[in-house]
């Protein structure tokens, strides 16, 4: 057997490799006490790991050992209940386990021809989400890598639709809140369009009347308005109904960036906050955030998927067999071609547990956020920056400067107590709990607050 065949044939060596990998995966998936862990300096990692890539290989047993004992502990455990920075990930055990199946099955999710079964399952999830968000029957799209790619793809479709309608401004423009996610500005740079940022109200909410002024000022050069359904920094939901009324009146595409927060609409406790999302022309929500799927998955949904298809279908001679049919190929709906069926772990988890379990888990996070916010208000040494709408709680330690927050954050991680990084708003440094993991408890949070005394 040639050396190259060793990588693909089923041999005793192959069986041993698979057993090693599956044994580690099983132990990790079933673990409830995985350390929080922390990064190491590059030089220290190089020293501990040694050289792992050479002509002869180091063997699977040594490689998995290096990963388990050196590399993995240098990565912060994102599904730890004390991981409260950025937006955590807490995939369900079913979703995480099925992610192994997706890779083991050698599935391709770019076209119906090659992955009809996988695409069918993904589309069932997309239809369920679309119905939850009030979009009409027929809405759909694809799972993409993350909210950044989802927002970019939706905005490309929006500009394409505006151009097809005959608009030809000197410069294209997007209208969004000054507190919109950084990916909107990133998309604008990629597309070479301008961003018109509109000031939100004192509570961080972008209002319809503010959008109206921007639309009247910039006219036909605006091809899309982006509303945020749960900002990353504060979890604030914009005035979706008021903004939708203005976009409909002006004939402008409405995109809703719900990457983090739109999943909260599944909870009866928060559903009313999202009134107006049903008017969106496109939206995104990230299952690897509050829908308990593994990295990396963003659901991109169009009201009229044909508008996405017109903007994104790639044409080449070798693709004729795909593009000359009406089959539903996910590669037609975003700025991608090759893709794994990244929506399948969410499908399996939903099919396994049922939607009610998801609703309960999200509701529990919302309730915990309110409870810890009340606790913060009751403590004299800390204060809320804004009352939480969803699961993000932002607060300040009275009298602290940036250096105090940085030292405190570093100490928490060094002592493996928690991962809470400093944030800021309006030039002031603060702390922030992003509450998403169903295993996060009130005691975890009060224990962290106690370290600020």
Residues 121, 264, single domain; the answer is yes
Q: What is the pLDDT of residue 202?
A: 95
Residues 203, 251, single domain; the answer is yes
Structure-token pair, residue 5? 């065949």
Judge whether 401 lies within some domain.
yes
Residues 285, 142, single domain; the answer is yes
In this structure, the number of other CB atoms found within 10 A of the CB of residue 424 comes to 14
Q: What is the pLDDT of residue 321?
A: 83
Residues 342, 228, single domain; the answer is yes
Residues 107, 200, single domain; the answer is yes
Residues 233, 273, single domain; the answer is yes
Task: Count Cα atoms within 13 angstroms, Cβ side, for 448.
Answer: 30
> Which one, of 224, 231, 226, lies nearest residue 204 by Cα?
231
Residues 18, 122, single domain; the answer is no
Judge whether 94 lies within some domain.
no
Q: What is the pLDDT of residue 300?
A: 98
The CATH code of the domain that includes 293 is: 3.40.640.10
Residues 319, 369, single domain; the answer is no
pLDDT in tens, 396-420: 999 999 999 999 999 999 999 999 9
Domain that holds residue 23: 3-75
Could you give the residue ranges of the DSSP H alpha helices within 165-299? Answer: 182-191, 208-218, 240-250, 287-290
**Total tally of structural domains belonging to the chain:** 3
Judge whether 341 lies within some domain.
yes
Q: What is the pLDDT of residue 410?
A: 98
Judge whether 154 lies within some domain.
yes
Question: Could you read off the pLDDT tens digit of each residue along the chain, which spans 453 residues?
Answer: 566 666 778 889 999 999 999 999 999 999 988 999 999 999 999 999 999 999 999 999 999 999 999 999 999 999 999 999 999 999 999 999 999 999 999 999 999 999 999 999 999 999 999 999 999 999 999 999 999 999 999 999 999 999 999 989 999 999 999 999 999 999 999 999 999 999 999 999 999 999 999 999 999 999 999 999 999 999 999 999 999 999 999 999 999 999 999 999 999 999 999 999 999 999 999 999 999 999 999 999 999 999 999 999 998 888 878 888 889 999 999 999 999 999 999 999 999 999 999 999 999 999 999 999 999 999 999 999 999 999 999 999 999 999 999 999 999 999 999 999 999 999 999 999 999 999 999 999 999 999 998
The CATH code of the domain that includes 440 is: 3.90.1150.170
Q: What is the pLDDT of residue 129?
A: 98
The Cα 227–Cα 63 span in angstroms is 46
Residues 283, 330, single domain; the answer is yes
Residues 219, 365, single domain; the answer is no
**CB 181 within 8 Å of CB 232:** yes
Judge whether 20 lies within some domain.
yes
pLDDT in tens, 285-336: 999 999 999 999 999 999 999 999 999 999 888 887 888 888 999 999 999 9
Residues 318, 170, single domain; the answer is yes
Residues 361, 349, single domain; the answer is no
Q: Which residues contact 267 (CB under 8 A, 6 or more apart)?
A: 359, 362, 363, 366
């Amino acid at each position: 057997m040639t050396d190259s065949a060793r990588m693909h044939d089923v041999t005793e060596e192959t069986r041993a490799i698979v057993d090693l990998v599956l044994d580690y995966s099983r132990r990790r998936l079933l673990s409830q006490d995985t350390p929080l862990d922390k990064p190491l300096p590059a030089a220290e990692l190089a020293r501990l790991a040694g050289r792992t890539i050479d002509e002869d290989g180091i063997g699977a047993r040594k490689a998995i050992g290096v990963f388990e004992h050196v590399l993995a502990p240098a990565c912060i455990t994102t599904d730890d209940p004390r991981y409260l920075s950025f937006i955590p990930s807490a995939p369900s055990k079913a979703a995480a386990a099925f992610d192994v199946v997706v890779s083991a099955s050698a599935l391709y999710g770019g076209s119906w021809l090659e992955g009809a079964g996988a695409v069918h399952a993904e589309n069932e999830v997309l239809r369920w989400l679309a119905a939850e968000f009030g979009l009409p029957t027929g809405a759909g799209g694809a799972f993409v890598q993350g909210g950044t790619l989802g927002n970019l793809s939706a905005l490309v479709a929006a500009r394409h639709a505006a151009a097809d309608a005959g608009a030809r401004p000197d410069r294209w423009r997007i209208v969004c809140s000054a507190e919109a996610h950084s990916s909107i500005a990133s998309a604008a740079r990629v597309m070479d369009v301008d961003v018109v940022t509109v000031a939100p109200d004192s509570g961080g909410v972008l209002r319809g009347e503010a959008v109206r002024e921007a639309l009247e000022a910039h006219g036909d050069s605006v091809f899309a308005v982006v509303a945020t359904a749960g900002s990353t920094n504060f979890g604030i939901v914009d005035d979706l109904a008021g903004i939708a009324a203005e976009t409909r009146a002006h004939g402008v595409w409405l995109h809703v960036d719900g990457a983090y927060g739109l999943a909260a609409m599944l909870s009866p406790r928060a559903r009313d906050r999202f009134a107006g999302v049903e008017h969106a022309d496109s939206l995104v929500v990230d299952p690897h955030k509050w829908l308990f799927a593994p990295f990396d998955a963003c659901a991109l949904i169009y009201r009229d998927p044909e508008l996405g298809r017109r903007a994104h279908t790639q044409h080449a001679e070798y693709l004729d067999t795909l593009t000359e049919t009406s089959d539903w190929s996910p590669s037609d709906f975003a700025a991608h071609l090759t893709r794994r069926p990244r929506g399948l772990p969410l499908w399996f988890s939903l099919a396994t547990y049922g939607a009610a379990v998801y609703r309960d888990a999200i509701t529990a996070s919302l309730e915990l956020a309110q409870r810890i916010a009340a606790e913060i208000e009751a403590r004299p040494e800390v204060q809320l920056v804004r009352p939480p709408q969803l699961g993000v709680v932002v607060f300040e330690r009275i009298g602290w400067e940036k250096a105090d927050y940085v030292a405190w954050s570093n100490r928490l991680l060094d002592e493996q107590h928690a991962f809470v990084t400093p944030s800021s708003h309006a030039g002031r440094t603060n702390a922030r709990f992003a509450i998403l993991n169903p295993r996060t408890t009130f005691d975890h949070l009060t224990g962290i607050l106690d370290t600020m005394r």
